[in-house]
Structure 1
């Protein structure tokens, strides 16, 4: 399955302590101990070298464990040091450590226009004050308001002068909301800046890496060729994404169709796409095998063409990962007689993590390497389940066994991140195998023909490309709309993720080693997983809660009883904010029956009743105070458990305390700062007040 001896796969042995070091640095924030770790690494490295030089004199061969222990410790410390050094915050010239009036930034990504907002990351080269300019480092996410015409003026490598106004990205405010701050931090971006065009000045052009600039410009020109020889916007978007890795124009409906059918990997230009290109290159260069030195020339040309394809895709990280691995495979097969693909896989991962250890937290990195592990390690096990004699059925079974192995090993991580499982993954993957190859070859052919000026061939291949994509999309949409096409609302915590991984790996080990003890341990993992999931479900079903959400400019309250919920909101259920800030929270809390109401509508259910501004949920009373509710300065006090203020109403000082006896006052995030401050000033006890603006959602629970 792996190797008969660990000496055959040394990089598997090396990468494990290295990964442990990266994990230690990222989990425990060892920045304060960076000097101590560096000293320990230096002393240990010196000792290790000295012992190797004096190997026979010291008779170290009598203690073989010493060298192994020192090597593993060195790799662990190396992983820790590289990660700490890669974190810009640990450098003394990090821009956020130096006050400034203006920042000189250099765009280091391709600017993306979404609506009226242009967004890109930039390296902060200088922090500027009226008295001095200081050289700095660190990445900044910049968002500016522009129109589509002016957005084209900004490109990779531009040097801009912007105001030194930045802040830390918001943490997730609502339950199960996407953690954008964490996502950015894993890309070494810890601050963001919002500005408009009038405060931005272009200082220089084309100051970035010339190779990257050429690559991004070339990709834009090639996307333009697709638009020239194809007419359907959907086909153009899929072709640009699938072949060139350009996702800016991809529609969400297309993404959903691929995601729910388990074929989303097709839209991420990565190992599979590079492998298809490699097979085409290998076939074209096959005549070189006849010559004595032909295999070396073939290897050189193959590596060059693979990296040129990486250039066409804008040198995207996923393609570069695949190119590194295939480069190692080509070198291994060309210059050695016997290679271990698993060892090459580990070596490529280690090389990439040496360059950027933060990639260990990248979902694409994790899934792509897991998929390759499934293909190399688990596919032979699955293939051995069925001995097929028919030649064509055997080829079909090879494809099916690969799909099963990859889906099995990636399922825990996919469920953890995306909370769904594509039931018909085998059918959908079989459906797209031939179309994807046709799309890749037709797309490359169209681009070559267009660049060579062969208009007729470019038009013909462009039409073939368009029809292949539309046929593939139609098939995937049919599968997506089929009954029980996907299992959704799968929510795992960290322990459940590891238990599921352990169960699946041990189950494959049972088939390979055929040992009863492995089966027992795998069943224990499954049992613990079921217990954990059951306890969480029982706790959720038995819990009633009111969640006052922070939706910024919008309002939302979730009244949950067990698996039922009523949502009061001014958002439609198709709105993007609803999907990301409300729907995820409902799914994570196991809600199955949801009623969505605007604040203006009255209703009555078994556990919820709303009439005008008064709400009763189970045994709790709540009043909605908006601009339509009149509060006299002196009134008869009404009793309510919670008050919810929304819409920036004008409230006379003291009128809330005069009209209500309450336990908690919640001020919606959509209220203006002026209204929020006025409400707080008019209260006798402002400790009862909770302002949602810039704060997490307030969840009030009661176990029944």
Structure 2
């Protein structure tokens, strides 16, 4: 529902300056909270004084706008203050402020096994110094090498050495910023532990309710594994119903991602809403009286949080439960309440609890999707009036899918760089199966292991999942299923939001000025994307990748490229570290080849160890080349040392002349240290591709 006047949605109006303050504090890295709090106190005193003198001095004639301005400034300053107030590093008891021998930590998340390593986060509760121990605060990311014996649980308390280090930033272009992701969860340091480096001191030291929720979810996941024979179907059931994603395969995840239905696998607002609709249907007989409405609201909230318990109190589900609880209470307490107002209230409460939630992708997309369903969906639905009730029902679902997909498009494209073209078809396809899966899954988990009934329920669940998976995979493999390599900047996203909101507001109010604004924003975005595309087509560049024990050089000429690497496209390291750079460079015609052998294109020629890229020459120096004596000195722009050759830089310099030395991560730490020391003494310009950013040379 679109508010006709800002007085209908005061909480939405007041949320905006608070959001702006949080974003400002994050954007400019404001650390201290003393100044913002002092500003809040001064502004509050001015506001009180203004209200005391409002009538006496007849300020309402000339300065009636001042009260609203002061409130907005107070909320803006409050938004700025909340960010450093929630930063553990600003407090004196933060564990990294000390230099301890070891630290005592309590695991605060469910440990997840990925490959050979366990990953979890922990609260640092104590540091042990030389002479005493001190209680501390702060979080730490833990990575354990799996020894096949030790199994960690939420609430385990461990004594570990204080060998933590900062989380590494992204080193290669276009890759996911894991450091920023962890920072938004208040984690800035990490510790890698081998077997024998830690000691389990106590068990069950975490929150007992959360511990019970996690243990219950593990039992329910095991029940799915026992009763569902197909592994992918069991993984989808665990993910869709309980939010447990550890068993989900890459192929299944890709099918949901490319069809625009990955939200089904993220237990969040949509799932909680479906549960609420089912609960409302069961409790509809309580709507007859005022007390009945309150009873319905209380029971609904209890059952919603019971479902949150089943999911192990997943953060996304807890956010959705808070949001929906406030909406239920608001609707029960007030007959006429704008839902957007209640949505703003829940967002304000969550951001007051943790302002860094604003940077969480799930938080952003969840609230945008709900906002689209509340505000935009009615506008789309009213465009057509169908007489047939089945067509009208189908149009209702189509309009809901369009509203949610369109309002989240700028952020989805910004974060995931793709857009599913068949989202209407895929979303309509999964409506009935996902509801069947949710209800039969919950029923199957709640009932005892009755031979015939349980087997029938889980058979229906498994077959429904298999049908849904096959249908989505079929849609995924259709021509032009998705548009890839979408790269928007921050300004493009802002303009897209203005364009979308303006267009829908025009459809609602028919104000031509808003339509002109929307079209102007669209023109600017199209021009911006077009200019970026033209610039990319005219750019030639070389990227020396930081791949940690692997080799990688990308040569780009317009939309064509050649990648020299010892990795395969199926390798996880290639997908995470190399592919994003290729996509961000808008390379559509790519050739992959190894470091050995010869290769030739119109813009690149590789012969033995020499590479000629346009007017740039690169020499690849590996162990095979160190035993070859050159008849004369060879000139190159870049000397790329790889493969850990055992030679000295002084000998290299006798045979080769170069402008810059590149040392990649396939060399051993000892070789790198030796080469760096020699380069420093010889005043050689060099770059090391280990725990450093990749080297990008752009010619245009």
**Which TM-score band (shorter chain)?**
over 0.9
The answer to whether the Cα contact below 8 Å between 1:388 and 1:394 also exists between their aligned partners in 2 is yes
Measure how far apart 1:510 and its partner are.
2.1
The answer for the alignment partner of 2:292 in structure 1 is 294
- The unaligned stretches of length 5 or more in structure 2 are none
Q: Give the Å deviation of 1:537.
A: 1.5
CA deviation after TM superposition for structure 1 residue 678, in Å: 2.9
487-496 or 673-682, larger mean C-alpha shift: 673-682
* Rounded Cα–Cα distance in structure 2 between residues aligned with 1:27 and 1:292: 47
Aligned-pair distance for 1:290?
Answer: 4.6
Pairing 1:274-423 to 2, within 5 Å after superposition:
274-290=272-288, 293-423=291-421
- Unaligned 5+ segments in structure 1 are none
1: CA distance, partners of 2:445 / 2:59: 61
The answer to whether the 8 A contact 2:108-2:206 is kept is yes
Matches within 5 A, 1:178-327: 178-290=176-288, 293-327=291-325
- What is the CA deviation profile of residues 354-407 of structure 1, one whole-angstrom value per residue up to 9, with x for unaligned ones? 111110000000001111111111111111222212111111111111111111
**One of 447, 457, 464 as aligned partner of 1:468:** 464
Preserved contact between residue 36 and residue 78 of structure 2 (Cα < 8 Å): no
Write the deviation string for residues 323-378 of structure 1: whole angstroms up to 9, x where unpaired.
11221222122222111111111111111111111100000000011111111111
Match of 1:106 in 2: 106
Question: After superposition, where does 1:171-182 map in structure 2 within 5 Å?
Answer: 171-182=169-180
1:467–1:10 Cα change, 3 Å = same
Partner of 2:87: 87
User: TM-score by structure 2 length?
Assistant: 0.97
Aligned 8 A contact 2:124 2:137 in 1: yes
Q: CA deviation at 1:499?
A: 1.7
Matches within 5 A, 1:507-546: 507-546=503-542
Matches of 1:118 and 1:462 in 2, distance apart?
A: 31
Match status 1:39 vs 2:38: yes
- Which among 684, 687, 690 is matched to residue 690 of structure 1? 687
C-alpha separation in 2, matches of 1:291 and 1:457? 37
C-alpha distance 495-290 of structure 1, shift in aligned 2 (>3 A): closer
Q: How does 1:571-610 map to 2 (within 5 A)?
A: 571-610=567-606
Name the residue aligned to 2:561.
Answer: 565
Counterpart of 2:93 in 1: which secondary structure?
coil
* RMSD after superposition: 1.8
Match of residue 140 from structure 2:
140
Q: Once the two structures are superposed, what CA deviation does each residue of 1:47-100 show, in whole Å capped at 9, x if it has no partner?
A: 545655776566565543232222212211222222211111111111111111
May I ask how many residue pairs the two structures share in their alignment? Answer: 698
1-side partners of 2:465 and 2:678: how far apart?
Answer: 63
Cα distance change of structure 1 residues 58 and 318 upon mapping to structure 2, 3 Å threshold: farther
Q: Do 2:147 and 2:195's aligned partners in 1 also have CA atoms closer than 8 Å?
A: no
Deviations 1:1-25 (A, max 9, x none): 4212222211101101111111122
The aligned residue for residue 13 of structure 2 is 13
Distance 2:204 2:391 in 1: 55
C-alpha distance in structure 1 between counterparts of 2:59 and 2:229, whole Å: 71
2:502 to 506, 515, 522: 506
Counterparts in 2 of 1:449 and 1:565: CA distance versus 1, 3 Å: same
Q: CA deviation at 1:507?
A: 1.6
301-310 or 624-633: bigger deviation: 624-633
Q: Does 1:158 align with 2:142?
A: no
**Paired residue for 1:621?**
617
Secondary structure of residue in 1 paired with 2:699: strand
Alignment of 1:642-657 (within 5 A): 642-657=638-653
Give SS of 2:693's match. Answer: coil
Matched, 1:549 2:545: yes
Taking structure 1 as the reference length, the TM-score comes to 0.96
1:292 Cα shift? 6.3
What per-residue deviation string (whole Å, max 9, x for no partner) do you get for residues 679-703 of structure 1? 3455573432222122111111212
Q: 1:60 to 1:210 in 2, by over 3 A?
A: farther
Q: What secondary structure does 2:7 align onto?
A: helix
After superposition, give the CA deviation of every residue in 1:629-662 in whole Å (9 maximum; x if it has no partner): 1356785201112111101101145211110121
Residue 262 (structure 1) shift: 0.5
| Residues 673, 155 of structure 1: alpha-carbon distance in 2 compared, 3 angstrom cutoff | same
CA distance in 1, matches of 2:107, 2:369: 33
**Partner SS for 1:199:** coil
Give the Cα–Cα distance (whole angstroms) in 2 for the partners of residues 5 and 504 of structure 1: 20
Q: For the Cα contact (< 8 Å) 1:271–1:368, is it kept in 2?
A: yes
SS of the equivalent of 1:302 reads helix
1:217–1:681 Cα change, 3 Å = closer
Q: Are 1:700 and 2:697 counterparts?
A: yes
Q: Which runs of 4+ in 1 moved over 4 A?
A: 49-63, 631-635, 681-684
Contact 1:270 1:318 in 2 (8 A): yes
Secondary structure of 2:134's aligned partner: strand
Q: Contact 1:226 / 1:240 at 8 angstroms: preserved in 2?
A: yes
Q: Please give the alpha-carbon distance, in whole angstroms, between the structure 2 residues aligned to 1:483 and 1:231.
A: 32
Distance 2:513 2:277 in 1: 42
- Aligned to 2:659, the other structure's residue is in SS state strand
| Counterpart-to-counterpart distance in 1, 2:337 and 2:676 | 71
